[in-house]
Amino acid sequence: MSGGHPDPALWAGRRVLLTGHTGFKGAWAALWLERLGARVTGLALPAEELSLYTLAQVGRSLESHVADLRDPAAVERVVQAADPEIVLHLAAQPIVRRSLAEPVETFATNVMGTVHLLDSLRRARGLRALLVVTSDKVYANAEDGRAFAETDRLGGKDPYSASKAACEIAVQAMAQSFLARNGVRVATARGGNVVGGGDFAEDRLVPDAVRAVRAGRALVLRHPEATRPWQHVLDCLAGYFAMAEALLAGTDLPPALNFGPLPGTDVTVGALARSILKALGGDGDYVHQPVPGSVEMTALAIDSALARRVLGWHDRLAGERLAKATADWYRAWIEGADARALTLSQIASFEALP
């Protein structure tokens, strides 16, 4: 890292396999890696018609492969074609409520899909570093408001959370049994709830707020009292890149690191919703419609002190900056701005922050 930012000298010309590049976070990562000079190969499902990947024409700057992680032969073909030095595994089924409707598909993608990828990487001769992204929801959560540290017990009472906890165990097993003996350094990253421009997914707070404002209707919230470790996508990706750089450099790292806001700065769903709605020109009002019997957790916080200490990472778009940067992207896009130029401009502005 250079001043806490990704080091272009390290990424320039590197062969990077990025899974999930058609998703929200993956599209931001692909554009940032392009800016850093990396040679990126993407592996993901087809992009949604309305997505950052499509709007920002992300596919024009990387080698994109449409493949399903549940298909081991397809994964093997992409890995062999990419011959990666670095792998950033972001692909997943990431929606909690979808996992309740499709539990088998969620476990198949998030657990066995990851195992398929890691099994293929056993035969990647040039591979040096692998970072697997899981979730802040991997912890056994008693909802007592305590911020979870990396050493806390893993768990999960919904299929998404449990699949990501299981993924953590599978990654460590595959790393210790196979990849470490090939000289590959492996770690997992547990990011908080990520927001930012270009997210159009279902059942996510910011896209729901944008859709509500554009349609002139009230935003409906299930759990406005719930707390989450909100962070901007660029803060989260900066942490991932820092971790990958440390793996490449041979730095002694813990097997997993949390990335989230400072303790005591977590905000409720309702408070963030009001900030986003007002920044987009709305009145900040929402409608509360609780879901009886919901298993979604209401309190979630993670402790990122270890990442701050080991990597020198810190969040630059916390608090009101987070809401402003996110709303600025959507407002500019609604007004006709070019999504690719807009996203690259926000990346450049982020790089200029101390």
Q: What is the pLDDT of residue 143?
A: 82
* Spans of all domains in the chain: 8-196+230-263+302-319
Percent of the chain with pLDDT over 70: 99
The CA distance from 329 to 139, in Å, is: 32
Give the lowest-confidence range in 89-98, 126-135, 248-257, 279-288: 279-288
Q: What are phi and psi of 295, to 5 degrees?
A: -100, 5
pLDDT digit string (tens) for 297-339? Answer: 788 899 999 999 999 999 999 988 999 999 999 999 999 999 9
Provide the CATH topology of domain 8-196+230-263+302-319: Rossmann fold (3.40.50)
Q: Is the dihedral of CA 176, 177, 183, 184 positive or negative?
A: negative
Residues 6+ apart with CB under 8 A from 174: 115, 118, 119, 186
> If you ran DSSP here, which 8-state letter would residue 228 be given?
E
Give which of 196, 135, 190 is closest to 321, Cα–Cα: 196
Q: Strand pairing of 227-228 and 267-268?
A: antiparallel
Q: What is the DSSP string of 253-293?
A: --SEEEE-PPTT--EEHHHHHHHHHHHTTS---EEE---TT
Q: What is the pLDDT of residue 306?
A: 97
Cβ count near 84 (within 10 Å): 24
Mean of the per-residue pLDDT values of the chain: 95
Instruction: Evaluate if residue 52 carries a pLDDT over 60.
Output: yes
Q: Classify 230 as helix, strand or coil.
A: strand
Instruction: Evaluate if residue 3 carries a pLDDT over 60.
Output: no
Mean pLDDT of 131-140: 97
Q: What are phi and psi of 103, to 5 degrees?
A: -65, -40
Residues 6+ apart with CB under 8 A from 223: 269, 290, 294, 296, 298
The CA distance from 183 to 130, in Å, is: 11
* Residue with the two structure tokens 């890292």: 1
Q: Contact, 257 vs 243, CB < 8 A?
A: yes
Q: What is the pLDDT of residue 315?
A: 94
E strand residue ranges, the chain: 15-19, 39-44, 63-66, 86-89, 129-133, 185-191, 193-195, 219-221, 227-228, 230-232, 256-259, 267-268, 286-288
Instruction: Evaluate if residue 130 carries a pLDDT over 70.
Output: yes
* CA-to-CA separations, 351 to 2, 4, 267, 329, in angstroms, rounded: 10, 9, 25, 16
Q: Which amino acid is present at 10?
A: L
Instruction: Evaluate if residue 295 carries a pLDDT over 90.
Output: no
Question: Please, which pLDDT band fits residue 1 given cuts at 50, 70 and 90?
Answer: low
The CA distance from 145 to 253, in Å, is: 27
Q: What angle do CA 247, 248, 252 make, to 5 degrees?
A: 40
Q: What is the pLDDT of residue 231?
A: 96
pLDDT digit string (tens) for 100-110? Answer: 999 999 999 99
The CA distance from 94 to 5, in Å, is: 26
Q: What is the pLDDT of residue 2?
A: 52
pLDDT digit string (tens) for 153-211? Answer: 999 999 999 999 999 999 999 999 999 999 999 999 999 999 999 999 998 999 999 99
* CA-to-CA separations, 314 to 36, 95, 347, 349, in angstroms, rounded: 20, 26, 16, 16
Q: What is the DSSP string of 137-173?
A: GGB----SSPPBPTTSPB--SSHHHHHHHHHHHHHHH
